[in-house]
Amino acid sequence: MTTKVDPWADIQGKVDYDKLIKEFGTEKLDKHLIERLESDAKKKGMTLHHLIRRGIFFSHRDLKWILAEYDKGNKFFLYTGRGSSGEVHLGHIVPWMVTKWLQDVYGVELWFQITDDEKFLFKPELTLEESNRLAHENALDVLAVGFDPKRTKVFIDTEFAGTMYPIAIRIAKKLNFTTAKAVFGFTNEHNVGAIFYTTMQSVPCVLPSVIAGRNIPCLIPYAIDQDAHFRVTRDILPKLGYYKPAALHCRFLPPLTGPGKMSTTGSAKDSTIFMSDDPKTVRKKVMKYAFSGGKDTVEEHRKHGGDTTVDMAFQWLTYFEPDDEKLLDIKRRYEAGDLLSGELKQILVDTIVPILLEHQKRRGEARKAIGDCLIKDNKWNG
Amino acid sequence: MTTKVDPWADIQGKVDYDKLIKEFGTEKLDKHLIERLESDAKKKGMTLHHLIRRGIFFSHRDLKWILAEYDKGNKFFLYTGRGSSGEVHLGHIVPWMVTKWLQDVYGVELWFQITDDEKFLFKPELTLEESNRLAHENALDVLAVGFDPKRTKVFIDTEFAGTMYPIAIRIAKKLNFTTAKAVFGFTNEHNVGAIFYTTMQSVPCVLPSVIAGRNIPCLIPYAIDQDAHFRVTRDILPKLGYYKPAALHCRFLPPLTGPGKMSTTGSAKDSTIFMSDDPKTVRKKVMKYAFSGGKDTVEEHRKHGGDTTVDMAFQWLTYFEPDDEKLLDIKRRYEAGDLLSGELKQILVDTIVPILLEHQKRRGEARKAIGDCLIKDNKWNG
C-alpha cells in the first residue's frame, strides 16, 4: 500500500521519505549543506540542531540558493504555519523547533500564519468561531516555542484577509482548476472556498516583499505533507515577479502507537501527547500506548535485547533527546537487554516532561507578548 | 439561436425576457405589485418610475414578501453593484436610476459593491491596479446618480476584503464545484479565484445583518444577467440562518446598433454612450450608429412612416424620456411619417444630453462626498 502524503490526508503506515524526494521533486539535504548550517550555527556559539543532524529534516528546495543570497547580504525571512483545528501536540512543534533555531542562527524575521479559514473550509463539522478560537489559543503555543517576539509576526487568516486577499487573487488568476485538481486531488464535490484556499497559503511567501516593495527571499520549514501548496506557489510566483520560496522539509513525528503521522481525530487522540498535558498524563499515555520493541518476557528481553528500529519510545527520543552520546548509550543498553521497555519509556517521559513544562510556562507568559506579535487588519465596523 | 444570459457572456441578439422568467424561475412584475409601488411613491409625493411603468423592470423574486415585511416595520436595505472594467455608460445606470427611486420612496440604505476583484479575475488582460483605479472612478459615477450620501455605502472588494472574506468563506463552504459549474458554466480551465468569486458577490446580501446582529431583508435591483449569482445566494443564505435576498430585474439597454446588451469591448465601444461623453460626441454617435426603423427614402418614409419596434432611437427614448404623453406623441408622429429618422435621433440627443450634463456636474461634486460614502478596512501596514 502506498501511503498518500498530502495536506489533508490521514497519513497512516510507514512513509517512504526517499520516495517522496523523487515524487515531489525535492533535493536531499546533503552533507555539504548540513556542514554549512553547522558552520553558521557555530558563528553564533550554537551547535547544529539534532533534528537536522539526525536526518529528521531530510529534504529541501533551493536552500543552497537562499544561503548564497544571505551571503550576499540579501537576508531571507522564515515563514511557517499552523492549521487551527485542535490543540497543539508534540508533533506540531517539531518543525517549529528548527524554525526557532534558524531564526536564532540567522537573526531573521518569522512570519507565522494560522489558517483558521482552511480548517473551517476542510472540516465539515468545524465552525468558523471554533476554528478562530483555536487559532488564538494556538498562537500562544507558537510563541511558547521561544521565537524572538521582536522578530516574529503571527497572523490569523480571517483577521488578516484585508491584507491577504488582494495578493491571493493575483496568485489565483494563475491557477486553474485543472492544476488544482491534479495537485490536491480535488473533486467536483469540494467547496469553492477549499478550492481557492491554497492561494491564501501562498500569500505569506510574498507578503513581506509586497510590503517592503522589494523582493525578499523566503525560507519555509515544514512537514513534507504541506509540499503540494508550495509546489504550486513555486510555479506561480516567478510569473508575478517574485522569487520561488525555498523550503526545508521534515518527517512527521510518528504516533506513539506506531508509524504514520500523529492525528487528533477519533481514538488516535488518546495516545497523542498535547503540549498542555501534565506529567502524570504523559506518563500514563507513554506507558499505555508507546509501541514497544522489547521482547515478550523479561527473560527473553535480557537475553536478546530490544529492537530500537520499531520501538516508539526510542524513536521519539531521536526527536526530543538532543544529546547524541546519551541517545547512543540508551540504544546500546536497550539493544543489549540491560534496559527494559518500561525503563526506556520512563526515560522518554523524563525527557519530554521538562519540554512540556517549559512550554507551559512560556505559554503563560505568551499571553502578554502576543499583543506585540499578532498583526491584523482593522476591519470596518459601522 | 438561443441568446445566453449569464454574468460573463457577451450577450448578442434579441433577448426573450419572458423565457428568462421561466428559465430562471423568477416572477413577472404584475399589475398588483406595480400598483403597490405606485401607491408607496405617491405617499412621498412621487410618481411611479417610468422604467417600472414601461416593463423595463419586468421580473422579481420575493418583492411581495419584502414589502409585507416593510409594512410590519422590518425595513429592508438595497444592494446593487458594478464591475469595474471600464467607464460607466448609459446602460449601467438604468438599474441605478430605479435603485435611487426605491431609496427615495422607501427611505432605505443602499450598499453599493464595486467588484474590482471580479473583473481582474475574469478579464485576462486587466491588471488589478487598473481594475482598482477604475473602481474609484466608477464610485464617482455611482454617487452622481444622486443617491442620498447619508444612506449610501460604497465599497470596493479588494479594500473591504477584511470584512468580506470571513463571510464569503461561510457561503463558500455551502457551494461545491459541481453546483458552481452548473450555474455559471465554469470549466476546469477557470482560475480558482473566478470559481470562488461568486461568494464575494453574495456577501453584501447579509453584511448589514452580520454587522447589526439581526436579520435585515435585502432587495437587489439588477440587470437580469446577474441572476445566476443570486440564485446561488438564495439557496445558501437560509442554511446560514439569513433571509433570501429579494430581487427586482431589469432588461438591458440594447446597443444603439441593435438588440443585445451594451458592451465596451472591440468595435462596440464606438457606439456606446459613456456618462462622460460631451454633447457633440453624443450627437455624432447617435446619428452614426442608432439603428433606424425609418424607410429608405424620405418619400417612402413620409408615406409609410417608421417602425418604432426596431428603431433604436425610439427604443432608447422608452428608457430615458419619462413623460408618457411626450413619448406617445413621438411614436405617433414617427409612425405617421411626420418625423424623419434624423429628427427622431435629434430628439434622443436632446433627451440624453441633459441627463449626461447633470451626471457630469454631480460627478464633479461627488469627489467631495465620496469620502463619507466609501467604506473600507484599514489594512495592517507594517
Segment B64-86, tens digit of pLDDT: 999 999 999 999 999 999 999 89
Are A133 and A160 contained in the same domain? yes
Burial of B252 (0-12, 13-18, 19+ CB in 10 A): buried
Among A53-57, B347-351, B377-381, which stretch is predicted with the lowest mean pLDDT?
B377-381
Are A88 and A222 contained in the same domain? yes
Residue A133 identity = R
Residue that is written with C-alpha cell 461634486 in the block: B365
Distance from CA of A196 to the nearest CA of B (A): 5
Distance from CA of A202 to the nearest CA of B (A): 13
Are B100 and B187 contained in the same domain? yes
Are A37 and A153 contained in the same domain? yes
Q: Does B158 touch chain A (CB under 8 A)?
A: yes
Q: Which B residues in the span 162-221 are in contact with A, Cβ-Cβ below 8 Å?
A: 162-166, 168-170, 172-178, 180-181, 186-196, 198-199, 211
Are B164 and B285 contained in the same domain? no
Are A274 and A141 contained in the same domain? no
Q: Which residue, B255, B279, B303, sits at the end of a domain?
A: B255
Task: Locate the chain A residue with the closest alpha carbon to B169.
Answer: A193
Q: Which residue, B255, B284, B316, sits at the end of a domain?
A: B255
Q: Are B223 and B251 in contact (CB under 8 A)?
A: yes
Q: State how far the Cα of A345 lies from the Cα of B112, in Å rounded to an integer.
A: 64
Of the partner residues B166, B190, B376, the one whose CB lies closest to the CB of residue A161: B166
Q: State how far the Cα of A342 lies from the Cα of A282, in Å rounded to an integer.
A: 14
Task: Locate the chain A residue with the closest alpha carbon to B153.
Answer: A382
Q: Are A23 and A3 in contact (CB under 8 A)?
A: no
Q: How many CB atoms lie within 10 A of CB A37?
A: 24
Burial of B246 (0-12, 13-18, 19+ CB in 10 A): buried
Mean per-residue pLDDT of chain A:
94
pLDDT over threshold 80, residue A11: no
What is residue B1's predicted lDDT score, i.e. its pLDDT? 41
Question: Smallest Cα–Cα separation from B127: which of A321, A289, A1, A241?
Answer: A241
Residue B96 lies in a domain: yes
Q: CB pairs below 8 Å between A and B: how many?
A: 158
Yes or no, beta carbons of A377 and B375 under 8 Å apart: no
Residue B163 lies in a domain: yes
Q: Which residue, A198, A224, A258, sits at the end of a domain?
A: A258
Q: State how far the Cα of B263 lies from the Cα of B251, in Å rounded to an integer.
A: 14
pLDDT over threshold 80, residue B377: yes
Q: Tell me the mean pLDDT in the region B360-374.
A: 94
Q: In this structure, what CATH number is given to the domain that contains residue A78?
A: 3.40.50.620
Run of H or E including A57: strand A57-61
- A296: containing domain: 266-366
Yes or no, beta carbons of A378 and B378 under 8 Å apart: yes
Are A188 and A327 contained in the same domain? no
Q: Are A200 and B204 in contact (CB under 8 A)?
A: no
For residue A19, give the C-alpha cell: 520516495
Yes or no, beta carbons of B196 and A192 under 8 Å apart: yes
Q: Which residues pair with B219 in a beta bridge?
A: B78, B246
| Alpha helices (H) in chain A, listed in sequence order | 17-24, 31-43, 50-53, 63-71, 90-106, 116-122, 128-144, 161-172, 177-184, 192-202, 207-212, 227-236, 279-289, 298-304, 312-320, 324-335, 341-373
Residue A375 lies in a domain: no
Q: Are B302 and B309 in contact (CB under 8 A)?
A: no
Segment A307-343, tens digit of pLDDT: 999 999 999 999 999 999 999 999 999 999 999 999 9
Task: Locate the chain A residue with the closest alpha carbon to B181.
Answer: A188
Set of chain B residues whose Cβ sits within 8 Å of the Cβ of A168: 193
Yes or no, beta carbons of A176 and B192 under 8 Å apart: yes
Interface test with B, best of A127, A170, A173 (most B CBs within 10 A): A173
Yes or no, beta carbons of B162 and A379 under 8 Å apart: yes
Residue B312 identity = M
Of the partner residues B121, B162, B164, the one whose CB lies closest to the CB of residue A172: B121
Q: Are B248 and B221 in contact (CB under 8 A)?
A: yes
ipTM metric: 0.94
pLDDT over threshold 50, residue B25: yes
Q: State how far the Cα of A353 lies from the Cα of B51, in Å rounded to an integer.
A: 75
Q: Are B363 and B140 in contact (CB under 8 A)?
A: yes
Q: State how far the Cα of B8 lies from the Cα of B151, in Å rounded to an integer.
A: 30
Residue A105 lies in a domain: yes
Residue B373 lies in a domain: no
Segment A201-252, tens digit of pLDDT: 999 999 999 999 999 999 999 999 899 999 999 999 999 999 999 999 999 8
For residue B92, give the C-alpha cell: 449601467
Q: How many CB atoms lie within 10 A of CB A43?
A: 8
Task: Locate the chain A residue with the closest alpha carbon to B193.
Answer: A172
Are B245 and B337 contained in the same domain? no
Residue A155 lies in a domain: yes
Are A83 and A169 contained in the same domain? yes
Distance from CA of B121 to the nearest CA of A (A): 6
Residue B147 lies in a domain: yes
Work out how many domains chain B is built from and give that number: 2
Q: Could you tell me the sign of the dihedral formed by the alpha carbons of A63, A67, A69, A73, in that order?
A: positive
pTM value surpassing 0.90: yes
Are B113 and B199 contained in the same domain? yes
Of the partner residues A175, A178, A379, the one whose CB lies closest to the CB of residue B163: A379
Q: How many CB atoms lie within 10 A of CB A145?
A: 22
Segment A120-172, tens digit of pLDDT: 999 999 999 999 999 999 999 999 999 999 999 999 999 999 999 999 999 99
Segment B126-153, tens digit of pLDDT: 999 999 999 999 999 999 999 999 999 9
Q: In this structure, what CATH number is given to the domain that contains residue A278?
A: 1.10.240.10
A1: pLDDT confidence band, cut at 50, 70 and 90?
Answer: very low
Q: Which B residues in the span 96-135 are in contact with A, Cβ-Cβ below 8 Å?
A: 117, 120-121, 128
Q: Are A217 and A66 in contact (CB under 8 A)?
A: yes
A14: pLDDT confidence band, cut at 50, 70 and 90?
Answer: confident
Residue that is written with C-alpha cell 467604506 in the block: B375
What is residue A2's predicted lDDT score, i.e. its pLDDT? 47
Are A289 and A344 contained in the same domain? yes
Are B221 and B291 contained in the same domain? no
Residue that is written with C-alpha cell 553564533 in the block: A44
Residue A8 lies in a domain: no
Set of chain B residues whose Cβ sits within 8 Å of the Cβ of A174: 191
For residue A296, give the C-alpha cell: 515478550
